[in-house]
């Protein structure tokens, strides 16, 4: 059976009446929605920083731990959902299983290497806490992928779905990809605004102060500053 026939036979084998599928969809949508709302509120009001007595680093670590935990919960719900969905046995062929492993390996490489390069604060929205990086990261994996964290995560979801022979997992992976694309529409411009503001403040601080106007008093020979 070829890949096209496998798809035609399997695409409708998704039980959307299973509440576990909808729990998975909800967790996929919730996570980026949560961290974008919370991070923007932190940027504007510093409400997390205030909870840690003004220590923005501790606040960032707390949000990082929360986001990481939510990610683990999302992944567990996803796996539980697809394990209870119909399987596409026709996907149990060498090319698809090799593709699954490639997705898992490359996806994890992108995610882990970007976390290593960015560190905790760079990965988990430290810029919203005022913890900014000195310059844009251009080393691997950012030299081959503009959004390695998000794209790597999508690849991990796809690899898991293929390895599990799960058409439902493929549908959920598409939702992950779609949700991340929307998140980037909000995160990208906002992050750019934060760094542009920092650069403008640096430029203003480095700019030489305007010289004071000096007027000579013709009668006394003294000078007055205006």
Q: Locate 142 and state its tokens.
A: 């950012």
CB 52 within 8 A of CB 46: no
Can you give the residue ranges of every domain in the chain? 18-190
Q: Between the CA of residue 104 and those of 17, 19, 110, 158, what are the distances in Å? A: 29, 27, 10, 8
Binding residues: 105-107, 187-188
Strands 214-216 and 223-225: antiparallel
Question: What is the Cα–Cα distance from 149 to 133, expressed in whole angstroms?
Answer: 17
When the pLDDT of each residue in the chain is averaged and rounded to a whole number, the result is 89
Query: Does 212 score more than 80 pLDDT?
Result: no
Alpha-carbon distances, residue 226 vs 40, 215, 221 (angstroms): 44, 7, 16
The whole-model pTM stands at: 0.85
Q: What is the distance between the alpha carbons of residues 70 and 186, in angstroms, rounded to a whole number?
A: 20
CA angle 187, 159, 92 (to 5 degrees): 155
Bigger pLDDT: 178 vs 6: 178
115-124, 178-187, 190-199, range with the lowest pLDDT: 190-199
Calpha distance 173→138 (Å, rounded) = 28
- Mean pLDDT for 127-151 is 91
The reported pLDDT for the residue numbered 225 is 39
d(CA 212, CA 226): 7
pLDDT band at 90 (very low <50, low <70, confident <90, very high): confident
pLDDT digits (tens, 9 = 90+) for 34-77: 999 999 999 999 999 999 999 999 999 999 999 999 999 999 99
Give binding residues for S-adenosyl-L-methionine as ranges.
105-107, 187-188
- The confidence score (pLDDT) of residue 9 equals 64
Q: What is the pLDDT of residue 75?
A: 98
């Amino acid at each position: 059976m070829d890949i096209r026939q496998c798809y035609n036979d399997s695409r409708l084998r998704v039980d959307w009446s299973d509440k576990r599928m909808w729990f998975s969809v909800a967790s996929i949508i919730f996570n980026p929605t949560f961290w974008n709302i919370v991070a923007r509120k932190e940027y504007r009001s510093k409400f997390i920083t205030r909870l840690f007595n003004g220590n923005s680093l501790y606040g960032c670590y707390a949000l990082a731990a929360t986001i990481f935990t939510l990610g683990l919960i999302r992944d567990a719900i996803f796996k539980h959902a697809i394990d209870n969905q119909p399987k596409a046995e026709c996907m149990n062929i060498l090319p698809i299983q090799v593709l699954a492993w490639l997705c898992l390996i490359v996806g994890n490489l992108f995610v882990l290497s970007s976390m290593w390069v960015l560190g905790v604060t760079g990965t988990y929205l430290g810029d919203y806490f005022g913890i900014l990086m000195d310059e844009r990261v251009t080393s691997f994996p950012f030299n081959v992928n503009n959004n390695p964290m998000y794209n790597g995560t999508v690849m991990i979801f796809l690899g898991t779905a293929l390895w599990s022979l799960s058409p439902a997992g493929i549908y959920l992976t598409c939702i992950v990809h779609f949700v991340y694309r929307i998140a980037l529409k909000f995160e990208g411009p906002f992050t750019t605004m934060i760094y542009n503001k920092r650069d403008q403040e640096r430029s203003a601080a480095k700019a030489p102060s305007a010289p004071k106007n000096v007027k000579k008093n013709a009668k006394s020979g003294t000078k007055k500053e205006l």
